[in-house]
Structure 1
Amino acid sequence: MVAAFGCTLGILPHMAAAITGLAALLHTSAVAFQVLKYLGVAYLLYMAWRTVREKGTLAVEEEHSPRSARRVIASGVLINVLNPKLSIFFFAFLPQFVTPGQPNALGHMVWLSAVFMALTFVVFVAYGMFAAAIRDRVISRPRILTWLRRTFAGAFVALAGRLALTER
């Protein structure tokens, strides 16, 4: 649940950027858009490389003390801040539901973002519960881990390629 909270908090910078008009800047500035796009491509390729580089079984040592809630939350925030799909979502999807001349456009945008964050929290908690339920089955089988790593690395490369070819 702490990890889900951290991931949900990571949405805040994207929401703030959409609310403050960064979407308009990226829409009008080809250079800013290209820089953000290629940073996302580089990040995805880095994730693919890191995933393929990992070898062996997943070692989960019960003896070590668990990570602090602060560290889990910080990790979740960092993952979401560097996730380009959240920026795209907040820049492209949410503003469609706010009329430009609307009297309380900022409040409406904040409300839509809060609803999105609440739903994201629920989904991340469900993911966490599912992962906890199948954890032992996955970490005890090296073939499953190898297959999962290759699948994730391939998905990261495919997403990077698609993002690199994305036009404004």
Structure 2
Amino acid sequence: MLTIDVIMTFIGVATLLAWVPGPDNLFVLTQSALYGPKEGVLVTLGLCLGLVVHSIAVSLGVAVIFQQSQFAFDALKYAGAAYLVYLAYKSLRAGPENPDTAGASRRPAAAMVLRGVVMNLTNPKVAIFFLAFLPQFTDAARGSIAVQMLMLGGLFILCAFASFTTISLMAGVLSRWLRASPRGQIVLNRVAGLVFVGLAVKLVTANR
């Protein structure tokens, strides 16, 4: 099993990685700023559910497929890029919401969670990152490697959820201001659209 020193070291590194600017936390930031902190937390929940799948895949060895198969890697990354382009299209065409009806037009909880799940699962780099990162903290002398990686995956998910939730709440301050500023909403929608395009390009050009 994992020792206390390994757990503490892993938590420190995982938290640091969660705060380093990347596709997931930028996605949470833009969604929280556009729709509110609650929606940002729901997206975070979806991202973390995706990490659960990645953790299990790594523990069972399924993630090796994306490391060894160029076809599988490309198929998944192009699907993810297409989804990001779709979100970019919606953001670039979105107009400002009426402050009086903003509450009624909030996105359904399930839709926001699903958005996070799809964003995470269609990025093969996450699976390969887990495949390279988690084993560094395992030791066959401490028991089953698969169990250790599942535990490490769970710790990583907790660190990511705490970090991304904090980002959601911080961005929520901006969201409240935007609901009273039609011009601000338009600007942020355009910025979000460009961010999504940038993430799509980064994903398409990613190598294993």
Instruction: Indicate whether 1:49 and 2:86 are aligned.
Output: no
1:127-166 pair list within 5 angstroms: 127-166=167-206
- d(CA) in 2 for partners of 1:56 and 1:65? 11
| Aligned-pair CA distance for 1:155 | 1.6
| Aligned-pair CA distance for 1:129 | 2.4
Instruction: Indicate whether 1:76 and 2:76 are aligned.
Output: no
Report what 1:87 is aligned to: 127
Which ranges of structure 1 fall in alignment gaps of 5 or more residues? none
Give the secondary-structure state (helix, strand or coil) at the position aligned to 1:121.
Answer: helix
| Aligned-pair CA distance for 1:152 | 1.5
| Aligned-pair CA distance for 1:142 | 1.9
The answer as to whether partners of 1:41 and 1:164 remain within 8 angstroms in 2 is yes
Give the TM-score of the pair, scaled to structure 2: 0.65
| Aligned-pair CA distance for 1:120 | 1.7
Report what 2:75 is aligned to: 35
- d(CA) in 1 for partners of 2:203 and 2:169? 31
- d(CA) in 2 for partners of 1:74 and 1:159? 20
| Aligned-pair CA distance for 1:130 | 2.0
| Aligned-pair CA distance for 1:38 | 0.9
Identity across aligned pairs (percent)?
Answer: 32
- Which of residues 59, 77, 97 in structure 2 aligns to 1:19? 59
1:95-123, Cα deviation, whole Å (9 max, x unpaired):
34335787320121012111111112212
1:122-152, Cα deviation, whole Å (9 max, x unpaired):
1233133223434321211122222211211
Give the secondary-structure state (helix, strand or coil) at the position aligned to 1:11.
Answer: helix
- d(CA) in 2 for partners of 1:82 and 1:62? 25
- d(CA) in 2 for partners of 1:143 and 1:63? 18
- d(CA) in 1 for partners of 2:207 and 2:49? 29
Q: Give the aligned length.
A: 165
The answer as to whether partners of 1:10 and 1:78 remain within 8 angstroms in 2 is no
The answer as to whether partners of 2:102 and 2:179 remain within 8 angstroms in 1 is no
Q: Compared with structure 1, are the counterparts of its residues 26 and 5 closer, same or farther at alpha carbon in structure 2 (3 Å cutoff)?
A: closer
- d(CA) in 1 for partners of 2:103 and 2:194? 33
Give the TM-score of the pair, scaled to structure 1: 0.78
